[in-house]
Structure 1
Amino acid sequence: MPTIHLTETTTATPEQFLAGLTDFGPGRQELFGNSSDKYLKVHETGSTSADVTEGSNGIWERLKYDWSDPRHVTMTTIDSNTWGDRSGHTYTLTPQADGTTQLTVDVVREGKNLKGKALGLLVGSIGKGVLRKALKNTIKAVEARNRPHGDTA
């Protein structure tokens, strides 16, 4: 069962990154490239949790989001056409002394069928680079969304 561990730094605050991570409205795909708006379905939301189906390119998963600890967000797969119930994502948002935020992301992928097992092998081999690029794109999008208007840095 592949587990990918990623660490990146962002100029977004933990609160700003959490706001992006838990924004389930239209345009989510602008922040998360693997979450196409056409797959997005919000089943339930609470003040620190959500039940959301998302995906892209024929792969979807229903995730139980929990941000009761806003520095440690878990997304547990509760249904999917590809991934088993030991799959999910964990984001740890750690503020740094210089005002940046260290993001630690763990992605676990358990294939539940032939397609999932094949994709799991890919995730375990070349997937880290793909997931790192996706995370960097998400970071850029969250930072841009929080940049003061007119600032193009």
Structure 2
Amino acid sequence: MPALHFHLTSTMSPPEVMGVLTDFSPARIQEWPSIDAEHFQVHDRGDTWAEVTEGNAKSFERARYEWDPSANRVTVTTRDSTPFGPGGWVFQLTPEDDGTRIDVELQRHPGNFKAKVMASILPFAGPVVRKSFQEPLKTT
């Protein structure tokens, strides 16, 4: 099971970071450059969860987001993903003097050969994945 672990430091507070991670309004498309309008759909939503499809023509996934403001944690369970298959993300937010430390864990459970090949590069993709969070989460 390929996995990636890293941390980021944001200038935003934990509630602000959680707000960006869990904003499923049309503004999400502007906030996250890797999401386009054609591949963004909110299927259902509750107070602390959302079921969404998001991504772009190259890669998209359907996932269930769940968040717990009291624990400063966002968990994303990926139901299906092109090209990686199911898996998930965990974002643990820790307040710091000048913002938030964001510990990120990404796991994939590829089922077919193509997904296994693509997922095998995941441990080496840290810099690219980290960069995708830089603008939306105001990381340094």
Structure 2 length-normalised TM: 0.86
Structure 2: state its 5+ residue gaps: none
* Letter of the structure 2 residue corresponding to residue 138 of structure 1: P
CA distance in 1 between partners of 2:135 and 2:109 (Å): 24
RMSD of Structure 2 on Structure 1 (CA): 2.1
C-alpha contact 1:64 1:78 (8 A) present in aligned 2: yes
Structure 1 length-normalised TM: 0.80
Aligned to 1:145: none
* Letter of the structure 2 residue corresponding to residue 120 of structure 1: A
* Letter of the structure 2 residue corresponding to residue 106 of structure 1: E
Q: Does 1:120 align with 2:119?
A: yes
SS of equivalent to 2:121: helix
C-alpha contact 2:78 2:88 (8 A) present in aligned 1: yes
* Letter of the structure 1 residue corresponding to residue 116 of structure 2: K
Q: What stretches of structure 1 move > 6 A for 4+ residues in a row?
A: none
C-alpha contact 2:84 2:118 (8 A) present in aligned 1: no
Aligned to 1:6: 6
Q: Does 1:137 align with 2:138?
A: no
Distance apart, 1:90 and its partner CA:
0.6
The alignment-based identity, stated in percent, is 34
Pairing 1:23-42 to 2, within 5 Å after superposition: 23-42=23-42
SS of equivalent to 1:131: helix
1:10-59 Cα shifts (integer Å, max 9, x gaps) = 11111111111111122323332332222111011100001011122332
The structure, 1 or 2, with the larger RCO (C-alpha pairs under 8 Å, 6+ apart) is: 2
Distance apart, 1:124 and its partner CA:
2.3
Decide which moves more: 129-138 or 10-19: 129-138
Cα pair distance change 1:137/1:115, threshold 3 Å: farther
Structure 1: state its 5+ residue gaps: 143-153
Cα pair distance change 1:41/1:118, threshold 3 Å: same
* Letter of the structure 2 residue corresponding to residue 113 of structure 1: N
Aligned to 2:84: 83
Cα pair distance change 1:37/1:115, threshold 3 Å: farther
Pairing 1:89-104 to 2, within 5 Å after superposition: 89-96=89-96, 98-104=97-103
